[in-house]
């Protein structure tokens, strides 16, 4: 195992991503909660930080259990921290170094720079600079503006670099991480989807034994992969519940339910459309809608869970970014939010929690799903919000509006698939606007609904841009929608980026 100590850098998760891409398992822990068994880790990486080491409130952990005992790579703040507190000197740089720089390697016999070409592009992001190396420090590389871009401590497996090997713009960053982890620290590259499935299935069996587990399926990737893993481990003792809130895509409930059954899952489909629509009647405020849907879901799920006798566990599809966000609430990170999945379960459901995916990133979840033979189409599905079409129907919600939007959405999504555009888009959907517009069909004046189409590219939904869909495609889709969906006479395409807009309209 590899330990990443987080000093609050926005790139800490990226370090973990890169390490995992090397098929090496790693964990992120906040700098102020160093695990007690730290000397059992094979290697430690110190992250960057928004702080200056010279600030009084800067992270200031005791590294004596790590340094000299476990191979260590200190990145950016980590490199400055090592220097500052061990006889070196860190000062504000005269020129702030952000962005690209080229590395001149001085000690090229060092394994850390093995297979890395001269002048390799690296990415800098710092406003302090290391003026003098710490005791025992040996300079390994410089850039035009940064004298001490990399150094090591003599006689120790301790390395420090001022640049960020984890960002894509550092051309050979992954090679450097591999050099450190594999060639220097001797970590084995065994973290594969296959190994994860074997290990997790065994762990789940040990932990759960013959107890019963209940899990809410959503049709999304995470809950599906979690269910299949648990099913492999405990078979019929996994009770899945798939709730139709009446706000899913057209035919989604029956299609996905059949797919789940085809996978051998013990799943109960619960059609509660009416209960949700009744709860939503007359409500226009977006947050109010979300609350009603969330509460109704808990009620329905609780009713269903009570139908199963002697349940011990509630399984959830929580993934690593959710976990990190929640941990960081008390940690140093500047951009934080708490996540609904992690705070745990409502009070009245006193079940133990099992989260088989809590150490995985989204793309790893997909690979694990692929390894277990889950349909690639299911694994490649666009994200879909929990409140579903409710937040894409602006204003109040009626069964008729849901029907109209389901038809429009279906034509759009099917069109994307037919035109081979679906996989090029991160998320897509249609929005039903709360206004009518005038049109003409045949010789008749119409006064009907307007729908907006939205398709965005993104990596995590935090930022997004609209997709430049071909005009031919938009023309065809617009035509089909207006001709086929009764009640709609106008289609517009949303060309707003996030920020300042958001992906959903509500």
Residues annotated in a binding site for ATP: 218-224
Rounded Cα gap, residues 499 and 61, in angstroms? 36
For position 339 contacting ligand XMP by CB under 6 A, the verdict is no
Rounded to the nearest 10 degrees, how much is the dihedral formed by the CA atoms of 126, 128, 130, 135?
-110
Please give the DSSP secondary-structure letter assigned to residue 55.
S
Whether 76 is a known active-site residue: answer yes
For residue 59, the minimal CB distance to ligand XMP (Å) is: 31
Nearer to ligand XMP, 165 or 317 (CB): 317
- Per-residue mark of binding to ligand XMP, 284-323 (x: CB under 6 A): ------x---------------------------------
For position 455 contacting ligand XMP by CB under 6 A, the verdict is no
Give me the catalytic one of 26, 76, 231, 240. Answer: 76
Q: Kindly report the CA angle at 305 between 304 and 310, in degrees rounded to 5? A: 140
Rounded Cα gap, residues 143 and 133, in angstroms? 16
For residue 383, the minimal CB distance to ligand XMP (Å) is: 4
From first CA to last CA, the distance across the chain in angstroms is 42
For residue 414, the minimal CB distance to ligand XMP (Å) is: 19
Whether 126 is a known active-site residue: answer no
**Does a cis peptide bond (omega within 30 degrees of 0) precede residue 76?**
no
Please give the DSSP secondary-structure letter assigned to residue 382.
P
For residue 206, the minimal CB distance to ligand XMP (Å) is: 32
Among 119, 144, 189, 502, binds ligand XMP (CB under 6 A): 502
The tokens of 474 are what? Answer: 């938009």
For residue 445, the minimal CB distance to ligand XMP (Å) is: 35
The tokens of 60 are what? Answer: 């200031």
Neighbours of 335 (CB within 10 A): 10
> Residue 126, class by beta-carbon neighbours within 10 Å (0-12 exposed, 13-18 middle, 19+ buried)?
buried
Backbone angles phi, psi at 499, to 5 degrees: -70, 170
Nearer to ligand XMP, 18 or 366 (CB): 366
For residue 211, the minimal CB distance to ligand XMP (Å) is: 29
- Pick from 271, 253, 288: which is nearest to 390 by CA? 288
Rounded Cα gap, residues 502 and 461, in angstroms? 9
For residue 267, the minimal CB distance to ligand XMP (Å) is: 20
For position 17 contacting ligand XMP by CB under 6 A, the verdict is no
Rounded to the nearest angstrom, the gap between the alpha carbon of residue 419 and the centroid of all alpha carbons in its chain is 28
Q: Kindly report the CA angle at 413 between 245 and 456, in degrees rounded to 5? A: 95
Rounded Cα gap, residues 241 and 98, in angstroms? 50
Give me the catalytic one of 84, 110, 126, 164. Answer: 164
SS (H, E, C) 175-243: HHHHHHHHHHCCCCCCCCHHHHHHHHHHHHHHHHCCCEEEEEECCCHHHHHHHHHHHHHHHHHEEEEEE
Nearer to ligand XMP, 173 or 385 (CB): 385
Among 67, 261, 381, 498, binds ligand XMP (CB under 6 A): 498
Among 386, 395, 439, 487, binds ligand XMP (CB under 6 A): 386
Give me the catalytic one of 166, 304, 325, 506. Answer: 166
Among 91, 299, 355, 504, binds ligand XMP (CB under 6 A): 504
Look at phi and psi of residue 306 and say left if phi exceeds 0, alpha if psi is from -120 to 50, else beta: alpha
Q: Tell me if 456 sits within 8 A of 427, measured CB to CB.
A: yes
- Per-residue mark of binding to ligand XMP, 390-429 (x: CB under 6 A): -------------------------------------x--
Rounded Cα gap, residues 38 and 69, in angstroms? 10
Q: Tell me if 112 sits within 8 A of 184, measured CB to CB.
A: yes
Whether 60 is a known active-site residue: answer no
- Per-residue mark of binding to ligand XMP, 345-384 (x: CB under 6 A): --------------------------------------x-
Among 8, 216, 219, 385, binds ligand XMP (CB under 6 A): 385
For position 387 contacting ligand XMP by CB under 6 A, the verdict is yes
For residue 505, the minimal CB distance to ligand XMP (Å) is: 8
Name which of residues 68 to 107 contact ligand XMP (CB under 6 A): none
Contacts with ligand XMP, residue ranges (CB under 6 A): 290, 383, 385-387, 427, 461, 498, 502-504
Catalytic annotation, residues: 76, 164, 166
């Amino acid at each position: 195992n590899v330990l990443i100590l987080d000093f609050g850098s926005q790139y800490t998760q990226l370090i973990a991503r890169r390490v995992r891409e090397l098929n090496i398992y790693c964990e992120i822990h906040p700098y102020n909660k160093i695990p007690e068994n730290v000397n059992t880790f094979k290697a430690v990486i110190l992250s960057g930080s928004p702080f200056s080491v010279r600030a009084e409130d800067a992270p200031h952990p005791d590294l004596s259990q790590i340094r000299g005992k476990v191979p260590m790579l200190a990145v950016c703040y980590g490199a400055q921290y090592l220097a500052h507190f061990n006889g070196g000197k860190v000062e504000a740089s005269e020129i702030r170094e952000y962005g690209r720089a080229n590395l001149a390697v001085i000690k090229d016999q060092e394994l850390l720079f093995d297979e890395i070409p001269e002048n390799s592009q690296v990415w800098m992001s710092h406003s302090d600079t290391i003026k003098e190396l710490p005791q025992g420090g040996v300079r390994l590389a410089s850039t035009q503006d940064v004298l001490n871009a990399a150094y090591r401590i003599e006689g120790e497996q301790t390395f420090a670099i001022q640049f960020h090997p984890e960002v894509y713009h550092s051309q050979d960053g992954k090679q450097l991480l591999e050099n450190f982890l594999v060639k220097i620290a001797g970590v084995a590259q065994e973290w594969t989807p296959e190994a994860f499935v074997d290990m997790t299935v065994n762990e789940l069996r040990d932990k759960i034994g013959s107890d019963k587990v209940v899990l809410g399926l959503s049709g999304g990737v995470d809950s599906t992969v979690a269910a299949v893993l648990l099913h492999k481990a405990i078979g019929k003792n996994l009770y899945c519940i798939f709730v139709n809130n009446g706000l899913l895509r057209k035919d989604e409930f029956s299609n996905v339910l059949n797919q789940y059954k085809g996978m051998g899952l013990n799943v109960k489909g619960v059609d509660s459309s009416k209960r949700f629509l009744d709860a939503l009647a007359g409500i226009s405020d977006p947050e109010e809608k979300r609350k009603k849907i969330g509460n109704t879901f808990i009620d329905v799920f609780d009713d269903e869970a009570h139908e199963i006798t002697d349940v011990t566990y509630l399984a959830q599809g929580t993934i690593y970014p959710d976990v990190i966000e929640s941990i960081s609430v008390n940690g140093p990170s500047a951009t934080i939010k708490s996540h609904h999945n992690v705070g745990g379960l409502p009070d009245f459901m006193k079940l133990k929690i099992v989260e088989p995916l809590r150490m995985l990133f989204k793309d790893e979840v997909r690979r694990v799903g692929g390894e277990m033979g889950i349909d690639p189409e299911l694994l490649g599905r666009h994200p879909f919000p929990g409140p579903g079409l409710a937040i894409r129907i602006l204003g109040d919600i009626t069964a008729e509006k849901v029907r109209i939007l389901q038809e429009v959405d279906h034509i759009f999504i099917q069109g994307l698939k037919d035109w081979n555009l679906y996989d090029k888009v991160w998320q897509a959907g249609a929005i039903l606007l709360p206004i009518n517009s005038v049109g003409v069909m045949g010789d008749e004046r119409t006064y009907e609904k307007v729908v907006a189409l939205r398709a965005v590219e993104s990596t995590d939904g935090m930022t997004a841009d609209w997709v430049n869909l071909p005009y031919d495609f938009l023309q065809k889709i617009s035509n089909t929608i207006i001709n086929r969906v009764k009640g709609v006479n106008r289609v517009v395409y949303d060309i707003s980026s996030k920020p300042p807009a958001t992906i959903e309209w509500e």
